[in-house]
Amino acid sequence: MGDSLSAGYRLRASESWVALLEKRLATEHLPHRVVNASISGETSSGGLNRLPGALHKHQPEIVIIELGANDGLRGLPLSLMRKNLQGMITTAQQNDADVLLVGMRLPPNYGPRYTQGFAQMFTELARQYKTGLVPFLLKGVATQASLMQSDGLHPTAAAQTRILDTVWPHLQPLLRH
């Protein structure tokens, strides 16, 4: 469950980190199937609304939640975003799915109080609900202009392997259950 960063904005479907994840699982001979329920522009509220149907339809063992960037870019109150993410985490857990929460960071122009609170929220939620956590999806990517599309927000195809390499060590423990 994600936004454009997982939907593969302006990329071929086979180039996104999520598509690369499916290939890596096959290479590692792991039996998991990947369902990419990511939508460009998605918010935590939209994800919360869509999650029950996706859980019912796919009955996943693991739910990766990569949402919040659009909420932050819109200046959504952190308390509302937290409530939405809490709802997604508890709904997934109540449906016997392990959760991997994927953290994001915001540009500094939103002010230190908001950006620090935004980033800390992912760590706090992961600790509170005992989920896996990727601290920052775009680690080693967001600060390199050559790995970002011209909008400065979305990673290029060349960055997708790096993104998967950031996610993989945090996902692996959940794959071994």
Tens of pLDDT, residues 9-52: 999 999 999 999 999 999 999 999 999 999 999 999 999 999 99
Containing structural domain, residue 145 = 4-175
SS3 167: helix
Q: Which of 3-12, 38-47, 125-134, 168-177 has the lowest mean pLDDT?
A: 168-177
pLDDT at 64: 98
Tens of pLDDT, residues 60-91: 999 999 999 999 999 999 999 999 999 999 99
Is 4 annotated in the active site? yes
Instruction: Report the candidate in 6, 5, 16 with the shortest Cα–Cα distance to residue 157.
Output: 16
Q: How many structural domains are present in the chain?
A: 1
The residue annotated as part of the active site, out of 3, 71, 98, 154, is: 154
pLDDT at 176: 78
The residue annotated as part of the active site, out of 3, 4, 38, 44, is: 4
C-beta atoms surrounding 87 within 10 Å = 17
- Residues of the chain with pLDDT > 90, as a percent, come to 97
In the chain, what's the furthest Cα-to-Cα distance?
45
DSSP, residue by residue, 133-152 = EES-TTTTTTT-GGGB-TTS
Rg of the chain taking only CA atoms, in angstroms: 15
CATH number, domain of 47, equals 3.40.50.1110
Banded model confidence at residue 146, pLDDT cuts 50, 70, 90: very high
pLDDT at 177: 61
SS3 101: strand
Q: Which helix (H) or strand (E) holds 40?
A: none
Is 3 annotated in the active site? no
pTM assigned to the model: 0.97
Q: Over range 92-101, report the average pLDDT.
A: 98
In 24-151, which ranges are E strands? 62-65, 98-102, 132-134
